[in-house]
Structure 1
Amino acid sequence: MPDSPLYSAAAVAVIALAVAAVVAVGLKVLRSFRELGTDAERATYNTLHAASKAGRHLRTGLNPAGAAKASRQLRGLLGCDALAILDVSGVLAWDGAAEELRPGLMELAADVLANGRTQVFNAADLLLHSPASGPAKSGPVAAAVVAPVRAGSRVVGAVAAFAPQAGAGLVRATTEVADWVATQVELAELDASRTLLMEAEVRALRAQISPHFIYNSLNAIASFINTDPARARELVVEFADFTRYSFRRHGDFTTLAEELRCIDRYLLLERARFGERVQVSLRIAPEVLSTVIPFLSLQPLVENAVRHGLEAKEGPGHITISANDSGAFAEVTIEDDGVGMDPVQLQSMLAGHVDGEHVGLRNVDARLRQVYGDEHGLVIETAPGEGTLITMRVPKSQPDHDA
């Protein structure tokens, strides 16, 4: 049998190790807790975190799905028993107790929606507007604060907080939450306006194509009717395909492959007019053909190269169209050896400070910046007599955009 003192020493050692481990874990937990900051800092973090989560659900505006998810976060911010979000037509979401008051909420909030002023309602007001007969079923809920949600000068909805009593703190907090919701609604309307602006710019590009290009194309086709009827028929088909694509009414995005097909038809029609004066080279990496790009974002760049680069040049001109795989991006370049442009005037035109002949470039540049951010605008290298190189970079992965 081993000596008992040896066992005692071993037991003491094990206990000491266990105590040391517990102390180490405790110190780590305490250190982590301290890193969260003071009670006030933790409360601020929780408030901002809840507001951030609610904001994501309201970025599409006031709608039932987003309001239902946001109301849970906003009720936690106010610490009330129930919270409702409504627009001018009805209650969008209700979170918490006292849901028997929901059917009468629009009537209760009618004056708030009409005059845009926060109102406080007591238990008698709630009972008056509750469809339930007899005493209210809402338990501790005996007061409500209804604050308007404004978008600009319009009242577009309201936030209603229900609690046992409505003190000055709840009134101020509900009003602030309603103002915060209003900010999210205005951001959603801004996003919608940007979408409409993009659609308007596409229409502007289509209008730009029609008068100049259509007139010249029809003249070129007419010139072949007597001398080469087969060529005239071929050009009519290409012209029809080009205009069908350019004036399509669905979708703000297309694929690089589709845009290149449109460019091929465009150049075929232009070569019917210019003959051998327009020479074209293509260098396309197959792996980027499926990349999604804004509709009519390449054709205006090629048209700019023909109209403003080669048309004014004596003798033949050359256009090189390249599309390459550049990691997470597809990089497309349009290069011509035409007359070039004044960089200062071009920069001023792209900024919208002056009007110019290169409206297609400005529209494409603005649309790329709106969709992908300012770092994805057109990069243009040019000088008088030195030709023009235009580079466009777009992400290869765009899950939110369908061609």
Structure 2
Amino acid sequence: MSTVLAVTAAVVAFAAGVIALLRLRARRGIATSVQRATYEVLRTAGLAAEPLRAGLTEAAATKSVRHLRRLIGASGLALASPTGVLAWDGTGEHHRDQILAARKTVLDAGDLSCDRLDCLIRGAVLVPLQTDAGRVGTLIALSDEPPAPGLVQAAVETGRWAATQLALAELDSSRDRLARAELRALRAQISPHFIYNALSAIASFVRTDPKRARELILEFAEFTRYSLRAHGEYTTLAEELRSIDRYLTIERARFGERLQVRLQVAPEVLPVSLPFLCLQPLVENAVRHGLSRKPGVGTISIVAIDSGAECHITVEDDGVGMEPRALLDAEESGDGQHVGLSNVDERLRSVFGEEYGLVVETGPGAGTKILVRIPKFHPAVRS
């Protein structure tokens, strides 16, 4: 009996110790009031920021206005564009006409009059949303008492923060437009360099080897169809390499045995998505500048390997090479001697980040090697 009691006592003591330990850990895990308040503000700001990064549209305003009202602590809040109110949350929407009449001011904080007996709104603060493009909208915070300095300051700071998100949206949009413009420029830049030589090579076979001439015409047609396609900013590595193969088929018809090609591609990287026409200019540069000026046989090597979270692609030639400074000067002068290298470099950095630009190794008589790193998965890229 005493043994049973001793065991029972030991179990109870152990259980009490476990409960005490859990309570201590739980107490340590509870945040302070300041930490909880900070978390709530940051979380609310994050929820408001996401839709605003798409710009001040009706959909973005509708999704963000509730969170902005919580940040300010206003009774009602509205987001307006230069043409009208986009979204409203909370009370006071019947003051819409008064708000629209007053929103042209730079900053306004004052009382609101109302004939409705059940209206609790007594004042409003209007904050302009300014970006580099000018005034893109207005944030209107309504209060159930005359606007106090605290409400005014909260509305002003929230308006500045919202304007920053809208400015970032404009920057994202301008980057997208720039990328599309650069892609159009790249298409226009590549085609004239290649078309004349391609047609000349095909013409040389029309009488001597009509069958090969027809095959080259089909390759040329498929190449230009891919290069000049109007849709899609991205492609897969497999599609890009297929187009490069057509390009090299036509160039081999022109250079004959002088042009040798070595291709080594890991099958698992073929589906990797990348910016459209980001490899073709590198291969064209190798042929035009590296090998066309080299006497005898020249070789171009294209290697694509799986490197964990990235795909590493190298385009290398054993041509004449050049001084790295001369390569940079040619790019800066825009003389077209090095087809699209700066264009490709800027597009890669714009899409993937600054660390993903081209890495070029070259020197007189040492050929040229260009390394391209591509993330295997990126949320902004869809082929």
TM-score by length of 1: 0.86
| Structure 1 runs, 4 residues or longer, greater than 4 Å off | 9-23, 39-42, 347-350, 352-356
- What is the Cα deviation at residue 343 of structure 1? 2.3
Q: 1:80 to 1:310 in 2, by over 3 A?
A: same
Aligned equivalent of 1:393: 373
Asked if structure 1 preserves the Cα contact closer than 8 Å seen for 2:285 and 2:339, the reply is no
Higher alpha-carbon deviation: 274-283 or 295-304:
274-283
Asked if structure 2 preserves the Cα contact closer than 8 Å seen for 1:119 and 1:147, the reply is yes
Q: How far apart, in 2, do the equivalents of 1:329 and 1:297 lie? A: 16
Aligned equivalent of 1:251: 232
Deviation track 1:332-386 (CA, whole Å, cap 9, x = no partner) reads: 2111111112123335666x58866224111111111111112211122222111
- What is the Cα deviation at residue 40 of structure 1? 4.8
* 2:148 maps to amino acid: G
Aligned equivalent of 1:148: 128
Q: 1:95 to 1:10 in 2, by over 3 A?
A: farther
What are the equivalent positions in structure 2 for 1:167-316 lying under 5 Å apart? Answer: 167-316=148-297
Aligned equivalent of 2:70: 76
Aligned equivalent of 1:381: 361
* 1:371 maps to amino acid: V
Residue 119 of structure 1, aligned match among 108, 111, 114: 108
- What is the Cα deviation at residue 200 of structure 1? 1.4
Q: 1:111 to 1:162 in 2, by over 3 A?
A: closer
Q: How far apart, in 1, do the equivalents of 2:8 and 2:80 lie? A: 68
1:159 aligns with 2:153: no
Aligned equivalent of 1:27: 24
Residue 108 of structure 1, aligned match among 80, 95, 99: 99
Asked if structure 2 preserves the Cα contact closer than 8 Å seen for 1:253 and 1:295, the reply is yes
* 2:99 maps to amino acid: L
User: SS where residue 314 of structure 2 aligns?
Assistant: strand
Asked if structure 1 preserves the Cα contact closer than 8 Å seen for 2:201 and 2:253, the reply is yes
- What is the Cα deviation at residue 168 of structure 1? 1.8
Q: 1:335 to 1:316 in 2, by over 3 A?
A: same
Asked if structure 2 preserves the Cα contact closer than 8 Å seen for 1:256 and 1:289, the reply is yes
Aligned equivalent of 2:87: 93
User: SS where residue 340 of structure 2 aligns?
Assistant: helix
Aligned equivalent of 1:130: none
Deviation track 1:123-157 (CA, whole Å, cap 9, x = no partner) reads: 31xx3xxxxxx61544x332221211112252111
Higher alpha-carbon deviation: 205-214 or 220-229:
220-229
Q: 1:206 to 1:136 in 2, by over 3 A?
A: farther
Residue 59 of structure 1, aligned match among 53, 62, 68: 53
Residue 312 of structure 2, aligned match among 307, 331, 337: 331
In structure 2, runs of 5+ residues without a counterpart are none
* 1:66 maps to amino acid: A
Higher alpha-carbon deviation: 66-75 or 377-386:
66-75
1:47 aligns with 2:36: no
Taking only aligned residues, the RMSD between alpha carbons, in angstroms, comes to 2.6
Q: 1:206 to 1:337 in 2, by over 3 A?
A: same
Higher alpha-carbon deviation: 307-316 or 46-55:
46-55
